[in-house]
Structures are given as structure tokens and as C-alpha cells.
Structure 1
């Protein structure tokens, strides 16, 4: 396990963080209950969980950003480290200046895809076989970018990577190869005077690619045209200060649970764009980075980037309704 002596300093500008902001109003009953932390991780070892994909057995595949690892965590907190992405000499990733593993997506057959940002030619999408073996880079992305969230559309055979620095959604064939700048827009870009993190989380849902913008505090929807091209970026919710990644509560329907990193909250975002807090630091959150939902179980990893007491962890909660 690599030691990262400067991790606490790096965390101030770490991936997926937004400005600390006042919380949205919480005016209705939460849709989740029974929150409990099932696993704690080692911050000083770089075990800062950044993104999550779920396995059929209910376990979670987590990317540990600064440890450059992917680990499987069971519903009861057992931890099995799958792979470590290869070290890079003199990494120069924008903003964070370290090699970091970020978004993760899982194919039905068990193959994992992850974004790896290094500031070098290793920046891109890497494939991890379900049978083990070394991870393999299948697509390069710009070294001066920061590929953050990652989404998989198996029906179209495409991967979508959200580049927080370049304000771009990249599209890559699932088989690997050349990346295409699928969507670019001011709505995807960071604010010039902000944290530097624009488009961040990303999901494929009901014929569209949905994304978050950390600097702008927005939830976005990008239609996918019949030919696979991107439609106009639409803003579906605002006022989500420090939003990181998110998940839909049901397969159909547009209710979202979103992680607000800086304020250590998870909010429910309704189809009309209104939102309210459903989980807080009192429940165990410590700068949450992403959300995953399967059935009636909500999974929330926390990286603890800003917390005074470092407690990166994985929290589970019960989804009462969606």
C-alpha cells in the first residue's frame, strides 16, 4: 500500500470537490432510513473512495483515488483489493498533480472500466477483466484533462467519460480505440474562478446521458440522438453546491440521489428540480463522492477530503421509496 505523505494537502484541491456552501432546505420526509457505516478505510494510505459500481451479490467495486486501486467491499464490510493501476513517473494530473483512479463502470459480464488520470499518455480508460490479470488501457484521453465520472451504455457499445477540467464528455467504443469529444458546452465547463471541476458525475438513463457540474451546482441531461450524437445540454436542477456523482432511485423515472461533497450531504433531487437533504455527516458521511442504488439499498462512499477527522468509509441505507 503506497504512502502518500502529502495527501492531506492535496485534499484541499482534490478531485470532485466543490466549494463549501450552505445546505439546501430540507422540507419533507427523507426517502432513506437506517443509515450505517459498514466499512472504514485508511486515508493516509490513499484509500479515498471516489466512485462505485455494484456487483450482483450486493458488494461494491470502489475506486481508491490516491492509492490507484480498485477494491471490492462486501455488504458486511469485507475488503478485497482487486488491482492497482501502474505507477507513473512524475505524474502531472491537472489540479491534483498525482496519478489517480476515478470513475468506474461495470459491464453485465463483470468487466470493469475505470478512468485513470496521470497527466501523461496513461490518462484514459482502462479495462479490468473479471478473470483477473493486469489492467489494460483501451483508450487514451487528453493528458491535460481530468476524466472523472464514467458511464457505460452497453446497448450502444459506448463509454462516456466526464472530463472535469476540459468541460467535455468523451465517447469511447466499449471495445476501445479512439475517443471522440461527444459533448462540449459552457454548461459542462468549470467556472473560471471556481474549483476547476466542471462536469463530474455521469450516468446513462432513459435515452439520455445525465451529468453533474460541480462548480455550477447543476444536474444536466443530454439527449442521445438516434445516430448516437449528443443533443443540446439541458439543466434539470440548480443550487446543488459541490455536487459530485449521483444515482437514480429507480430504473425508470428521474428522481436522483446526489452526493454533495463539501457539505457532507446526500440530497434527493426530484423531477421538478427541487431538492432536499436526506443524509448528513451525523449519519456518517464524510465528504461523499458518489451514490449507487440497487433495489432498496443505497450505497454512499465518502472520501473524507475536507473532514477534520479523516474517516473515509462506505455507508449503506434503506431506500423507502423512489
Structure 2
């Protein structure tokens, strides 16, 4: 089963992300779990044997989500009622061999424009297919920008005002930019802070408060890179450390407060920065249905979390929950 090709390296490689980096011990308070974490959850089970392992998602106006199935190259809609509908099939080349994972394809980050167009990061280990793919509401998917075959592309964020995408490169220690009209990709930011330490580096990616924010899975960190007035990258700064095997994150709408997924601990944690201390509250975990959680989106008090079952090898799903304060 193709899933094993990803599960073996995920389980075999150490994830040196449990140590707190860059924060004094007294600056972090843990509120624990299940004191006031959620009012209700709705779980949509997916088919592991059929390759339905969701790597990323974006919210749809209908209340559902568009997701990427990492190892099949499919882009699909998961409705609020749990219906799964394939929107596009991206390439799965016979000679595909992605960096680190060694799968034929890896469909990862996804972003949505206001007109409904989807943009997806695809890695195959081949120059012919690795890059950013545009998935229109009607018509066939097309690659608009090529990226190095040595890249394992991950999180994607869309700056529609400036008509460009930001893309995390988990093996290339970089963040790329791609114009919506296509053309070449540009290495926007790079450095050791984005680098992997045996497995994957730069991972989840968001635009927030005039900056690009990116997680580093191996380092267990969340980084902030300011966007200068001329569009160039400012100096990257670590905002949070000790995040475990952090995959994705999303801002709650309350300043810099974030939800963070830990793909190995099966948790969704709310991190609330304060003047004197940072509070961390686990709001969802494996008992709620998380199974190697890969991505999260937020709408008010409602969160949607994808679980790909990479580590657990059971019960991939899309989980919707209303979070209490």
C-alpha cells in the first residue's frame, strides 16, 4: 500500500522538536486539556485504503472545505454534510520520487482566490510536474510555475492584492513567490531558520499583519518574516518555540493568537501570547478524532482540522469543532 512509503520515514526519523527554543521556561503556562475546549464536533471519516489522506485545506463559501489528498494528487471538496467530491486530478508520474518521502506525488498547500480558483503546491521529484498548479472552477488544472524537482513544497498563501503566492519549501530551506499570471518562481527568503533537521523544515505558511509566518516542523518553531514596502523579505524572527512536530497553524482572529497542529502528538493547541507569559491550551486531541493532524482553518469559534493518519495509520478525517473560550 502506497501509504507505507510515507509512514516508514515519518516514524523512523527523529523529530527533534520537543525542546523549547527561544523562550524562557517561566514564560510559558499550560492550561491543560478538556477544561473548556469545545462545545461540539462533527467528524467526516475518509478512506485510508483509497488514498484519502488530506494534507491541507481551504475554506469554501458553502461551509465545506477544499482539501488536497497528498499521495493521490487529488483536489477534493468535503462538504458540510461529509460528501467527498473530486475537483481535479494532478499528475502522479510513473517516475515520481519526492524528496524525503519517496512518494510518486505530494499534493500539499492550497489557496483559494475570490473567483473560486484554487492554487495547489505539487511535488513529484520531476522537473516536468513540480510547481504551482491552478485549478479553475471549470476546466483542467494547469501548472503556472515550475519549481525545483528537489523541492518538497508545502504551505501556500495567496496575496490577491499583489497577485502573488508564497510557498514554503520543506527541503529547500526557503519561501518562494509565484505570480498569479505565471512565469518563474523567485526565492523570496531562505536561511537556516527554515531548514530541516533530518526530515522537514518550513511547513505551514500564513499571511498576517504585514508579514509571512511559517512553521518549521523539525525545529518546532513559528517564524515571522516582514514584507517590506518594496515586497522584499525582511529579517526572519522566531516568535514561538517548543511547538513539537508543528505542521500547520492558523490565527484565531485575536491578534497573534494561533491554533497549532502537532502531527505526532495528535493535538490542536491554542497559543495566546501575553505581555508577561504565553498560555498554551490543548483544545482537541486524539480522543476527539485527531489522527496525525496536518492543517487547520478558522471561522470565528469554529475550526476545521484535517488528519492524514501518516503516523497513526488509521482513521484519516476532516473534523469540524466549535471551540469554547
Which TM-score applies when normalising by structure 1? Answer: 0.91
Other structure's SS at 1:143 match: coil
1:320 aligns with 2:316: no
Deviation at 1:19, TM superposition (A): 2.6
In structure 2, the residue matched to 1:166 is 172
For residue 10 of structure 1, report the CA deviation from its aligned partner: 2.2
Is 1:18–1:261's contact at 8 Å kept on the other side of the alignment?
Answer: no
The 1:213–1:46 alpha-carbon spacing in structure 2 relative to 1, beyond 3 Å, is: same
Q: Does the CA contact (< 8 Å) of 2:154 and 2:203 recur in 1?
A: yes
1:84 and 2:89 aligned: yes
1:157 shift after superposition: 1.2
Count of equivalent residues: 310
Structure 2: how far apart are the matches of 1:31 and 1:152?
Answer: 33
Equivalent residue of 1:215, what SS?
Answer: coil
- 25-34 or 268-277, larger mean C-alpha shift: 25-34
Corresponding position of 1:268:
270
Question: Which structure 1 segments of 5+ residues have no match?
Answer: none
Are 2:197 and 1:197 equivalent residues in the alignment?
Answer: no
1:294-318: CA deviations, max 9, x gaps?
133100000011115x100011111
Answer yes or no: is the 8 Å Cα contact 1:32–1:317 preserved in 2. Answer: no
Residue 31 of structure 2 aligns to a residue whose secondary structure is coil
Q: Aligned equivalents of 2:299 and 2:211: distance in 1?
A: 20
Query: Is 1:296 matched with 2:301?
Result: yes
Task: Report Cα offsets for 1:114-158 as digits up to 9, x if no partner.
Answer: 000001121000000012x21100000110011111110111211
SS at match of 2:6: helix
**Residue 291 of structure 2: aligned partner:** 286
Q: Deviation above 6 Å: which 4+ runs of structure 1?
A: 20-25
User: Once structures 1 and 2 are overlaid, which stretch shifts more, 267-276 or 225-234?
Assistant: 267-276
Q: State the superposition RMSD in angstroms.
A: 2.1
The answer to whether the aligner puts 1:12 opposite 2:15 as a matched pair is no
| 1:201 Cα deviation from its structure 2 partner | 0.2
Q: Give per-residue Cα distances to partners, 1:258-286, cap 9 Å, x unaligned.
A: 11000100111223454231111011100
| Structure 2: tracts of 5 or more residues without a match | 20-27
- CA-CA distance at 1:22 after TM superposition: 6.4
Counterpart of 1:234 in structure 2 is 237
Structure 2 partner of 1:139:
145
